[in-house]
Homo-oligomer: A and B are copies of this chain.
Amino acid sequence: MARQTRERILETSLAMFNAQGEPNVTTNHIADELGISPGNLYYHFRSKDDIVEHLFARYEASVGDALLLPDGRAPNLEDIWLQLHLVFESLWGYRFLYRDLVDILARNRKLKLRFARIMNRASTSATELLRGLVRAGVMRASADEIHALAENILLVATFWMSFDAVRGGKAEAGEADLNRGIHRVMMLIAPFLRDAERYHLNTLAATYVR
């Protein structure tokens, strides 16, 4: 059952990291929660960081998939909202990374590089999509505006979870946060849209929040 214990460690770690924050979850806590000994945990993973790195690999794969552009015809607005949803769900699954992002990346160079690669892919992807919208005449924006908008989308995509954790007093997080995050990005794009689409989006967006 080696494989199974290893897998359970990863799953439990992820759940506890997400719930309590990675710095506040010790290897002993994880072992306790699983009902195994700390020694056993260290038989399967060399270090706590080793666990984090394996979880990061899964995060990487998950987001990587979600970022894949559905090729074929140029995506329209509906396609974009769908993809946005997929990406945000991926991030949400590994929200512990974002909660202490600066510290986690500061203490692990490899992860910092890998994260930078993901960010670059996301940036390229967002820019492509926005350019597509401009070409399709759905949106009006200069090259500089597209660039700034893409960066702001990345910023919001990176920190909407932390922002929700810090804003408002509601303790429990969940799907509502996801919708709020998506809503934020929509409203970032809205003002660049043609009046018809802008109006439609504002209507649609209203269903996302509150």
Chain A interface residues (CB < 8 Å from chain B): 21, 23-24, 99-103, 105-106, 115-116, 119, 141-142, 144-145, 148-149, 151-152, 154-156, 158-160, 162-163, 165-169, 183-184, 187-188, 190-192, 202, 205-206
Contact of A192 among B149, B184, B191, B205 (CB under 8 A): B191
Q: Decide if the interface of chain A is mainly helix, strand, loop or mixed.
A: helix
- The minimal Cβ–Cβ distance linking A110 to chain B, given in whole angstroms, is 13
Contacts of A142 in B (CB 8 A): 202
Q: How far apart are A132's CB and chain B's nearest CB, in angstroms?
A: 18
B156 touches A23 (CB 8 A): no
List the 8 closest A-B pairs by CB distance, nearest first. Answer: A148-B187, A191-B191, A159-B159, A155-B163, A99-B102, A102-B165, A191-B192, A102-B162
A103 surroundings in chain B (CB, below 8 A): 21, 23-24, 99-100
Given contacts A23-B23, A142-B202, A148-B187, contact A155 B156 (CB under 8 A): yes
Kindly list chain B residues whose C-beta atoms are within 8 Å of the C-beta of A99.
102-103
Q: Is the CB of A158 within 8 A of B155?
A: no
Q: Is the CB of B102 within 8 A of A191?
A: no
Verify B148–A184 contact, CB threshold 8 A.
yes
A106 and B167 in contact (CB under 8 A), knowing A155-B184, A191-B145?
no
Q: CB < 8 Å: which of B119, B158, B184, B188 contacts A159?
A: B158
Asked if A102 and B166 make an inter-chain contact with CB atoms under 8 angstroms apart, the answer reads yes
Which of B100, B168, B188, B202 sits near A144, CB closer than 8 Å?
B202
Q: Which residues of B contact A183 (CB under 8 A)?
A: 148
User: How many angstroms from the CA of A111 to the CA of B65 in the assembled complex?
Assistant: 39
Is B191 a contact of A151 with CB atoms below 8 Å? no
List 11 A-B pairs, Cβ < 8 Å. A21-B102, A23-B103, A99-B103, A142-B202, A144-B206, A148-B184, A152-B184, A152-B187, A154-B163, A155-B155, A155-B163
Q: A103-B100, A187-B145 are in contact. Are A166 and B115 (CB under 8 A)?
A: yes
